[in-house]
Amino acid sequence: MNAPVNIDYAALIREDTPDGFLVNSRLYQDEGIFREEMDRIFHRGWVYVGHASEVPDPGDYRVRLIGQQPVILVRGQDQRIRVLLNRCTHRGNTLCQRERGNSKFFRCAYHGWVFDNTGALREATHPSGWGDRPPGAAQHLIEVARLGEHRGFIFASLAKDGISFEDYLGNAGAYLSRYCDLAPDGEIVLSAGRHGVTVDANWKMQLENLTDAYHAEYVHASALAQFASLSSTDKKASFQERGDLESPLAMQRDLAAATRFSTASPRTAPRATSCASPVPPARCCRR
């Protein structure tokens, strides 16, 4: 665990300056702030890790990240869905190297320890060398502290204590349910693959971009023009350069405790070339 840092966030985000609303660039560059965000937002809160339809059969698994912690979303032979820490309990090496697949067992490539898809340790190699203290139940794979599910959407928390899943989801639960109810049978299946974007920047940059409607008419002007022509009975229809930013259709909705849910699933990792990168990049995936 990283040592606590004392950061005056009120001094970094100012709404009362003569120049208006100001955000200090340190929020996007400071390594201490990044570590605190990983701990307090991702490692203590709730994070979306996948959908039940992504692991429909026993043995199906997907490798995901919660902040900087690699995890395995897996359906065990007992049909129960678990989120397991993706590290061998022997020496902490990454256990599952593939992004997805189906397997009854996970074998550590370092010392050959074998775990089944419920997380139970099945074999610790060279048993004769363990004497009277052989590995046992204490060496089973570690499950995340808490798991939450709503209409097939699975969320996990690494923290044993904290805001409940129901309070975290807040008003977003109703939106998820409405989305699912649009399907003929009232359920959705994630089977079309995933569109992933790797962003070499601080993780907040991509999430802010996803909720920024201001840039669309400039950055995505050609796409909006094409959309206007295809969605209108008037083939000569064109995208209007400026819209009404005060219209309810142009506003973001506050989902209370679940505000972070609208930003999908940020996956963060240190830059491969340097763990001390001044601007820790993020891998953000939208499913």
Mind listing the pLDDT tens digit for each residue in 155-185?
Answer: 999 999 999 999 999 989 999 999 999 999 9
Overall average pLDDT of the 77-99 stretch: 95
**If pLDDT is split at 50, 70 and 90, which confidence band does 60 have?**
very high
Whether 55 has a pLDDT exceeding 50, the answer reads yes
Strands 47-51 and 153-157: antiparallel
Whether 40 has a pLDDT exceeding 60, the answer reads yes
Give the integer Cα–Cα distance in Å for 132 and 1: 32
Q: What is the pLDDT of residue 49?
A: 96
CATH number of 50-158+165-196: 2.102.10.10
CA atoms within a 13 Å half-sphere pointing along the CA-CB vector of 252: 15
pLDDT tens digit sequence for 253-276: 667 665 443 333 333 333 222 222
